[in-house]
Structure 1
Amino acid sequence: MPEYFDRYIDLADDVPVLEALAVSLYEIDHLKIADWKAMGDQVYAPGKWTAKDIIQHIIDTERIFAYRALSFARQEPQRMLSYDEDWYGNHTNANQRSIADLVDEWRAVRLSTIALFRSFTPEMMLHNGKAFSGTYSPLAIGFILAGHQRWHFRVFKEKYLPLLGK
């Protein structure tokens, strides 16, 4: 497993990658959106993201990693650039959007990712590509994306929901 990203891969189901991504789509579709809306602009500590910021971060990360998966599947020889999630987070308009709008985009991005992964042959899934922190494959990226979402669901449950008395 790619170092650092193992924390996300470990949270994904131990099923074929397309199934893991389908399950994560189901989780988006069954999100307790009322809890996310109820958070408003609350954060559990200074400098932390709002609920809307978290969703935007998941969307941004998925788009960047889908590009990496495509590049690796196509055997791109160049090393992928790093991604500064805080920089991206500081340059969004997530807090001016509705939760429903963000969730609609999130769902669309996940459907696009699933279509991309369906287009890969088994051999393409295993092509390793170079990233800023080592090498990994499109297959690993699929599980990273499924687990990354669950990582943030867990953070939301453990650190944000108590602010609502839940």
Structure 2
Amino acid sequence: MFTRPASDEYIRYQNQYISIVPEGNIIELLERQQDDTVNYFSSLNEQQALYRYAAGKWSLKEVLGHIADTEAIMSYRLLRIARGDRTALPGFEQDDYIEPASFDTLSNEELLERYTSIRRSSLSLLRTLPITAPARRGIVNNHEMSVNALAYVIAGHELHHMNIIRERYNA
């Protein structure tokens, strides 16, 4: 069963994501979140999706691509740990993923298709985990993390970036 993670279930800096996840069923939240994100990005034309609120900041397309990349990585970590894999998993540097991805060359439709397919995969995984899986722990970026916490990081990371979009992109 998924519950708000205790502070010993995740890397300290991830509290910025976990702490903003509202109370309730995490799977239902991820479903609603997908609808909200798709609705927002579907409302943008291609030019609007290239908007950056300041020089050197990510475009809206890059933000969506980053959300999808991060969820794919977190979901992979979640799968490995849920299956009992005790192999230490490395960290990743988010900025290293943006330039080689060339998100700005993709259409909104392509980015949304990628995002929704990753989210559907994450939801399918979460729905089909054994009841004991959320408590399983593994090593991520040299810190112990639970499956439970990774589910909350997925939700909170997206909430974090959608909040930035609302605050800084005038959306």
Q: What is the TM-score normalised by the length of structure 1?
A: 0.89
Does 1:79 find its partner at 2:79? no
The count of corresponding residues between Structure 1 and Structure 2 is: 162
- Name which of structure 1's ranges 136-145 and 35-44 shifts more when overlaid on structure 2: 35-44
Q: Report the Cα offset of residue 77 of structure 1.
A: 1.4
- Deviation readout 1:29-50 (Å, 9 max, x if unpaired): 4325334745343322222111
Partner of 2:64: 55
What is the RMSD of the two structures over their aligned residues, measured on CA atoms? 1.7
Partner of 2:32: 23
Identity of aligned residues (%): 24
* Partner SS for 1:5: helix
Runs of 4+ deviating beyond 6 Å: none
2:135 aligned to 126, 135, 141, which one? 126
1:45 aligned to 44, 48, 54, which one? 54
Q: Report the Cα offset of residue 72 of structure 1.
A: 0.7
Counterpart Cα distance in 1 of 2:113 and 2:98:
19
CA change 1:36–1:58 in 2 (3 A) is: farther
5 Å-filtered alignment, 1:62-73, equals 62-73=71-82
- Name which of structure 1's ranges 25-34 and 92-101 shifts more when overlaid on structure 2: 25-34
Structure 1, unpaired ranges of 5+? none
Does 1:113 find its partner at 2:125? no
Counterpart Cα distance in 1 of 2:28 and 2:19:
15
- Deviation readout 1:5-50 (Å, 9 max, x if unpaired): 1111122221122222222222224325334745343322222111
Structure 2, unpaired ranges of 5+? 1-6
* Partner SS for 2:64: helix
Q: What is the TM-score normalised by the length of structure 2?
A: 0.86
